[in-house]
A and B are shown apart, each in its own frame.
Chain A
Amino acid sequence: MQVSWIDAHQVTALAEGLRRAPTKSPLPSAATQSVATSLVDDSAAFVFPEELEEPLESLAEVIVESDSPPPMVDFRARLQAIRERAVSAGLIPAKAPAPPEELHLELPPFQPRTGAVSARLAAFIDWAQPALVDAEIFIVDDQGDLHWGTPATAGLALSAIMAWSAASRMSALAACETPEPLRQVLATGRHLAVIPCPTRLGIMHVAITSLALVPQAQILVISQALTSAMDANDE
């Protein structure tokens, strides 16, 4: 007596059906249920049209002589959908970091003034400050003494300058070269540019904190201006 009560013919037929190889691989078929947003949509993408089944020579002719441009909008939409799925799956970061915004700086030619150090620095500030709207300017010597700027607000910039100059001095290049300028983002979110300037009194640093980055092209101009401010000969 059979205890399972199973119709042997029915089960055998079902089993035979299941033994046949499936027509689709599982992963893409799962993804195709949401075609517009799937990570790899190979059900619809890049399907060759029927005429491509013709011999290769005629295929080349069809492509070369075709006036209709490739469906770029469609390709872009699919690539975008793939990207969104990859981002959503955590496979790639959401956005490539955008390059930081740069200041729009137009600096006039600098005219140095002679006299005491404070007068020379004042001339430099008078030249630079109008162009650097919303920016704070500090001038520090190589020993960390603040020559221009408000001590109360210079803390972060000073710390960065001193840490950076200490690191620069540790390098072999410091013995014979002026350190490279430094550009970085402070904890406050403002951008800091530290521009070393070789003067007759030694290396002096112009530190600028601003909402946007000081352009690389203007860094040399600022450096040369402070150098000429400090090195201008008294008559």
Chain B
Amino acid sequence: MIAIATASQKGGVGKTTLCINLAYSLARRGWTTLLVDTDPQGGVGLSLARSTRTKQGFYDFLSGERDINKLILPTRLPELQILPTGQYDHCARRGWSAQEVPVRLADLLRAAELRGVDCVIMDTAAGLNGMSESVVKACDYVILPQQAEPLAVRSVPHMLETLSRFRTEGAGVKVAGILMTMVMGDSQISQKVVAELRAMLPNDLMFDQVVPRMNSFLEASAMGVPVALLKKNPPPEALIFDQLAAELEQRAGLAEERESSESHASLLD
């Protein structure tokens, strides 16, 4: 099993949209995927159903709930499960020990592995501090969505410095890649930002795939579905996340075990 966090210093860069759609694509590709919402805003739950606001979830587990199986919500796609934010305010009032957080996160990942989960995707709140810092440190990989506009990418050095600090503090988290989001095809500035980052950073730190700014993502949020479920036949932009999932499989080594254990079937027999 691998655990992947998404993180960014800046809010509103499309972390939650990325998490929902990437988790859906991974699940469609046959990976049992658990999408965990660690953002107190509960964006994952709010994007998918009204009822998740009242449900227990991640923060309830953090503050003492022992049976994680009671908190995980199944979806219509059997390979996709969701652990919503839960009752953050209620749990915050009761409080939890900061020292206990890494241990509970490790417990959460072990419990997910015991459930047969292949891939945990953890959505975080903006900023690389507090809970988001603990979540990133607990994961195997971190995806860094970056909005393709000048002000947003100016925080990239700061973000890389913070991740370097995590590593010196003993965290084993690896950078799966920086993912350019909200890329505007008709904006020269937006395109230039992407080009500048690609020129500066090695290829294995930048996802080939970018996520464009599109109305269909807004529509999908409004309807409470991943973008692939907007229409009966998935729209072209749904393939963005399939491509991203495929790229992630390679970067995180997800596919290696499956490839070694399953032979390739020929097309005809």
Residues of A bordering B, CB below 8 Å: 2-8, 10-12, 14-19, 21-34, 37-39, 85, 88-91
Interface size on B, residues (CB 8 A): 48
Given known contacts A24-B171, A27-B138, A33-B103, is B161 in contact with A4 (CB within 8 Å)? no
Q: Which residues of B contact A16 (CB under 8 A)?
A: 202
- On chain B, the residues within 8 Å of A33 by CB distance are 99, 102-103
Some 19 contacts from A to B, beta carbons below 8 A apart, are A2-B196, A4-B153, A4-B156, A4-B196, A11-B157, A14-B161, A15-B201, A15-B202, A18-B174, A23-B170, A23-B172, A26-B138, A26-B171, A27-B172, A30-B138, A88-B66, A89-B111, A91-B110, A91-B111
From A15, A32, A37, give the contact of B205 (CB < 8 A). A15
A-B contact count (CB 8 A): 132
What is the minimal beta-carbon distance from B13 to any residue of chain A, in angstroms? 15
With CB as the reference atom, state the residue of chain A lying closest to B152.
A4
Residues of B whose CB lies within 8 Å of any CB of A are 3, 66-68, 99-100, 102-107, 109-111, 114, 134, 137-140, 150, 153-154, 156-157, 160-161, 163-164, 167, 170-175, 189, 192-193, 196-197, 199-202, 204-205
Given contacts A3-B150, A3-B196, A5-B154, 6 further A-B pairs with CB under 8 A are A4-B196, A17-B164, A26-B173, A27-B110, A34-B102, A88-B66
Q: Select which of A7, A29, A91 is within 8 A of B114 by beta carbon.
A: A91
Q: Chain B at the A interface: mostly helix, strand, loop or mixed?
A: helix
Given known contacts A26-B3, A29-B172, A39 and B205 CB-to-CB distance under 8 angstroms: no
Assembly CA distance A110 to B165 (angstroms): 82
CA of A24 to CA of B150, assembled, Å: 34
Given known pairs A3-B150, A3-B192, A88-B107, the reply for A14 and B157 (CB within 8 Å) is yes
Measured between alpha carbons, how far is A209 from B170 in the docked complex, in Å?
A: 61
Q: A12 to chain B: which residues have CB within 8 Å?
A: 200-201
Q: Which residue of A lies closest to B99 (CB)?
A: A34
Q: Which of B109, B150, B164 contacts A27 (CB 8 A)?
A: B109
* Of the residues B66, B175, B201, contact of A89 by C-beta under 8 Å: B66
Whether A90 pairs with B66 at a CB distance below 8 angstroms is yes
With A5-B154, A26-B173, A33-B99 known as contacts, the answer to whether A18 contacts B137 (CB < 8 A) is: no
The reply to whether B66 and A30 contact each other, CB–CB distance below 8 Å, is: no
B residues in contact with A10, CB < 8 Å: 157
Q: How far is the CB of B10 from chain A (nearest CB, A)?
A: 14
Q: How far is the CA of A18 from the CA of B161 in the complex (A)?
A: 9
Whole-angstrom distance between the Cβ of B240 and the nearest chain A Cβ: 23
Q: Which residues of A contact B193 (CB under 8 A)?
A: 3-4
| Given contacts A17-B167, A26-B140, A34-B100, A11 and B201 within 8 Å (CB-CB) | yes
